[in-house]
Structure 1
Amino acid sequence: MNDFDFLTGTWDVVNRARADFLDPDSPWEEFPGITRGSRHFDGQANLDEIEFPTKGFTGLTLRLYDPEREEWSLYWSSTRTGRLFPPVVGRWTDGVGEFHGDDEYQGTPIRARYRWSGVTADAAHWEQAFSTDDGATWVTNWTMAFSRR
């Protein structure tokens, strides 16, 4: 249940996002971020806020661990929408956290996947991918390279 303890503290983040989250040929854009993470409920909850200084918005992720199901639910919100998006749910296996959920992107129903990997004391990798065919194919559309400040 302490899977996200590594995020506690301040991180510099290199973001890469596609211009169109559903187009695998869409160009990538790179931009900075600063994340501040905190641990709660003895490790059963984690909260981080990320600033995107060149984009003019901030985001927030709340992660909650369900000990009965042994899985995490991750909830995202940002100042762009002011709403809590549906959660992605999953667990960590062999050092990789994978989380899935249903949502929509610009009116298109999608399956979302978040994947955490490469976690060390001073680095981590996160990526987001969307599927419009219930997970048969995925378009990775946002990656984050974390380095501890």
Structure 2
Amino acid sequence: MDNSTGFTFLTGTYDVVNRWRKDFLDPTEGDDRWEEFPGLTHASVHFDGRASFDEIQFPTKGFSGLTLRLYDPAADTWSLYWASKRTGTLFPPVTGRFTPDGTGVFHGDDEHDGREVEVRFVWSEITETTAHWEQAFSVDKGRTWLTNWHMHITRRAT
């Protein structure tokens, strides 16, 4: 996979099955600690594949968000920026790249519920019609990670 055009797979309209921890920092396991809900995303690529934009709606949650992804050719890295309708602010970026096997790993620093966290996004299982995204937080400088959100996305048939 060419890292510079790594997000070209994410073009079109996708149904999204979201599964997130009810408390993003609580490591307690069990199905009652997770919530599943639908999403719908519309995605496009720009700058010859070196920029990606999508807007996602969470109809049962009453909010939406958008992601802008930009490729930096000098660093050979992507920066991913998330904004939520709930806050109207741009969150700090996560940066990283795609590996030869097609998995994208991205890290950054942020805050959740007043606590400093390191954030990791992983894009994996990418095909022409599906992909998986997950988010994890670390409160110990990356020594341990707690995965707190999964998205399984499936392209809608045209």
**Short-chain TM bin:** over 0.9
Distance 1:44 1:89 in 2: 14
Q: 1:101 is matched with which residue: 105, 108, 113? A: 108
Structure 1 runs of 4+ aligned residues shifted over 6 Å read: none
2:49 matched residue in structure 1? 43
TM-score, normalised by the number of residues in structure 2: 0.93
The separation in 1 between residues aligned to 2:144 and 2:26, in whole angstroms, is: 12
Structure 1: give runs of 5+ residues left out of the alignment: none
What is the RMSD computed on CA atoms of the aligned residues? 0.7
Residue correspondence of structure 1 range 50-69 to structure 2 within 5 A: 50-69=56-75
Identity, in percent, stands at 65
Tell me, in whole angstroms, the C-alpha distance in 2 between the residues paired with 1:2 and 1:95: 11
Show CA shifts across 1:40-82 (max 9, x none): 1111100000000000000100000000100000000010110
What SS class does the counterpart of residue 63 from structure 1 fall into? Answer: strand
Unaligned runs of 5+ in 2: none
Alignment of 1:1-149 (within 5 A): 1-25=4-28, 27-93=33-99, 94-149=101-156
Give the drift of 1:25: 1.2
The size of the alignment, in residue pairs, is 149
Alpha-carbon shift at residue 2 of structure 1 (Å) = 1.0
SS of the residue corresponding to residue 75 of structure 2 reads coil
